[in-house]
Structure 1
């Protein structure tokens, strides 16, 4: 019997659950400064959405003893694709099991990648219907753009820190059907980072080598803006609000993304990005491999990558 191909079984990144030891301050950051809207609560968790994500929520913000990411949710293309991917993951020994759905989604299949990051797959999804107060003028937009804060358009991607980038990349390709758009290969031959995508976006999930050797940590989550100019404006918004700006605005060489990195009050790194012009339409795209010497040149316009970009992750590693 032929094993079904995993390609085109996962549609896109759905939402993430982010942990914060400063829940009230983090909530103010995401609502008042970033411009996300609250759309539900459950215990210590607040459900938030960007204005143009079509689903119920983009982010679950949960109060916790530490920072980091609890899980990442990926939507499949169909109910049948969900069953096939769950069976393949279960057979490979990475499964956690089936769970009942929550706000806006049906039942999910939970699992972990080789590094221990938790994921879930789902198919059934509630398409968001905006209340009168935030109903858009254009009916092909999920919600009106907020008139305050940054006003990010959508959740764009997640970058995970990993002890073994190649093992996690193989997992994403073999079991979830991701394709690797770009990667960094060190002089030793070791892969230090990989960018993976499920559709025509050039990347949805990224794995970056964790210099501490730890497993299961977060590098950052990213939200897309409409334009580069909105990122420049966001830098001023963050400056006035006292938000720590780590690096940027600037442009990456890899993926050519215009970026700005900040830390939210709980310590998690957040990226604002404008990657919308970068699409991979070629069905036979060959992975772009960057060498160690090429990456030593810095970002697209020569700015060197700052040291904290390689050392800061959540939850923080305790010195021992």
Structure 2
């Protein structure tokens, strides 16, 4: 019989983006993306989409360069958090407790094999909207912003790593994430993987870092309500003078309708709508894309530009 699935991780909770232009990045996410500020601590400002149930989903931190500060997953229970920390320690991973985070309780941080800082936590602060932000519907955390792009929620993040296979096996072994799709070249080299904690088709992804540099970020993705909302976002970017790197098009992998831009600090941001793409099968069999299949490009739309393969943060040079 196959091993019992590990369902201790609930979902991606938040990401921290580093930016050398903190005020410009802050204005971009509030005025253009339509996010709401929900706190400030030290060099960081905390923001949220209107349907994020926790206090924030994005931590913007002023820094000397761009990139991913950390990504955090919430566990299903305090006991689940203890089990995952114990599993990491048993696997020889260095884990450090982190107690001074805004909006959630004790976190436990570690590096994945690709050098990214990852955090696990459970206790969290549910967002309480102030009177002027309270929604008409009590099952919605916050009033629809009607501002800019109107980001709904954090969806996933995509990193780069020198050894994608080792990273995938690490997340499967220690966090219980499931691999829904992956890319394997004719040589047997794994160059892409998409992992999920629940029924959402993916919470994180990783592509191969060609220069062997650890810890680089490809993009962070926020969800919108529909394909039409992605098209309207393109108009919003046009009016705001924001360069659209790629899209709107449709990915073949995960079938995501997408649009990519850069925030002022240099980090790539994706807006996405994946429709009803849920993985309900408990025994889902990983979809493996071959080299020939990937060479066909996207499902439809223009091919991704060269910068999609060369730009990541922090810059390599």
The normalised TM-score by structure 2 is 0.97
Please name the residue that 1:64 is paired with: 63
Distance in 2 (alpha carbons) for counterparts of 1:192 and 1:302: 22
Please name the residue that 1:209 is paired with: 208
Output aligned runs, 1:47-86, within 5 Å: 47-86=46-85
User: How far off is 1:102 after superposition?
Assistant: 2.2
1:311 and 2:306 aligned:
no
User: How far off is 1:94 after superposition?
Assistant: 2.0
Please name the residue that 1:96 is paired with: 95
User: How far off is 1:10 after superposition?
Assistant: 0.3
Structure 1 ranges of 4+ moved more than 3 A? none
Please name the residue that 1:158 is paired with: 157
Q: 1:304 to 1:65 in 2, by over 3 A?
A: same
Output aligned runs, 1:184-223, within 5 Å: 184-223=183-222
User: How far off is 1:5 after superposition?
Assistant: 5.8
Q: Deviations over 1:246-302 (max 9, x none)?
A: 100010000000000000000000000001410000111100011111111110015
User: How far off is 1:308 after superposition?
Assistant: 1.3
Output aligned runs, 1:140-151, within 5 Å: 140-151=139-150
2:250–2:256 contact (8 Å) kept in structure 1 = yes
Distance in 2 (alpha carbons) for counterparts of 1:254 and 1:233: 23
1:14–1:75 contact (8 Å) kept in structure 2 = yes
Distance in 2 (alpha carbons) for counterparts of 1:7 and 1:307: 38
Output aligned runs, 1:224-239, within 5 Å: 224-239=223-238
The DSSP-based 3-state class of the residue aligned with 2:95 is: strand
The normalised TM-score by structure 1 is 0.96
User: How far off is 1:225 after superposition?
Assistant: 0.1
The DSSP-based 3-state class of the residue aligned with 1:145 is: coil
Distance in 2 (alpha carbons) for counterparts of 1:33 and 1:233: 12
The DSSP-based 3-state class of the residue aligned with 1:140 is: coil
User: How far off is 1:305 after superposition?
Assistant: 2.4
Q: Deviations over 1:22-59 (max 9, x none)?
A: 11110011000000100111111001011001001010
Please name the residue that 1:28 is paired with: 27
What residue ranges of structure 2 are gaps of 5+ in the alignment?
Answer: none
1:248 and 2:255 aligned:
no
1:210–1:310 contact (8 Å) kept in structure 2 = no
Distance in 2 (alpha carbons) for counterparts of 1:16 and 1:210: 20
The DSSP-based 3-state class of the residue aligned with 1:95 is: coil
1:250–1:258 contact (8 Å) kept in structure 2 = yes
What residue ranges of structure 1 are gaps of 5+ in the alignment?
Answer: none
The DSSP-based 3-state class of the residue aligned with 2:237 is: helix
